[in-house]
Amino acid sequence: MTGPDPFDQLDRELDAWLSAGLTATLWWRDDDAGEMSSGLDRLIALSERHGVVCGLATVPAWVADALAERLKDATSIEVLQHGYAHVNHAPRGQGLGAWELGLHRPLEIVMAELTNGREMLCAKISGGILPVVAAPWNHIDPALFEPMVEAGFVGVSAADARPKPYPVPGLLQVNGHCDPIKWKGGARFKGAEKSVRDMVEHLTARRLGEADRTEPTGLLTHHRDTDGACWRFLDALMARTRAHGAAQWLAPSEIWT
Ligand SMILES: [Zn+2]
């Protein structure tokens, strides 16, 4: 006996996009890169197997030589900047979660870290680095947006449906919408059905015009916290979406051109 196919709801939603003559754009961001690991090897193999380019949100202060070396011939990986050192500077107990890119420190210091971080990434990793900040813990204060544009950044990524494409002129926001990990009480796979549902919810909202139709639906993974069941889910998700005529995976460099 097998249960219901968790991907059926996704197929039905994509069928609706196809009937409407629309293309359901998708993209993939993976967070917390710095060291090489078996998880990162698995991620690179997955992206190559399905031809889906991954935006690897890399922490500048964590970049190890082995990662830089491995990325030299990983053509399916593009690097985004995951903050600076992935350190929380928000006081605990305020219920607002962890923030590296908030105004808990002077803005000049946060911006200096971002610009230094970009230089560190460019110095250590050869090619394929986009001037796009994927915010640690998906938290970033909007007061940083204009200084980021002045510093040469062209994009930002956090979580959930974006309020608008450009929070300030010159900075395109594209978020993650489907995170297959349940974080509370220890990271673990939340299951195929719930993960697919998150993706379908954003796709449906886009199709119906309840969310910005032009924002690609983002799969947001964390290779360090991904278990076997979750890797198998990701493999199946990519196979199913690649096989559907309405779905199109975009590389980050196609989003932030
Ligand atoms: Zn992170």
CA 137 to ligand 1 centroid distance, Å: 5
CATH class of the domain whose range is 8-255:
alpha beta
What the block records as the tokens of 67 is 């990662």
CA 184 to ligand 1 centroid distance, Å: 15
Instruction: Give phi and psi for 122, each to the nearest 5.
Output: -65, -30
pLDDT, one tens digit for every residue, the chain (257 residues): 567 899 999 999 999 999 999 999 999 999 999 999 999 999 999 999 999 999 999 999 999 999 999 999 999 999 999 999 999 999 987 778 999 999 999 999 999 999 999 999 999 999 889 999 999 999 999 999 999 999 999 999 999 999 999 999 999 999 999 999 999 999 999 999 999 999 999 999 999 999 999 999 999 999 999 999 999 999 999 999 999 999 999 999 999 99
Ion ligand 1: residues, CB within 5 A, are 31-32, 136
Alpha-carbon distance of 243 to 246, in angstroms, equals 9
pTM of the complete model beyond 0.95: yes
pLDDT at 95: 73
Ranges of each domain in the chain: 8-255
What the block records as the tokens of 105 is 């420190």
CA 8 to ligand 1 centroid distance, Å: 31
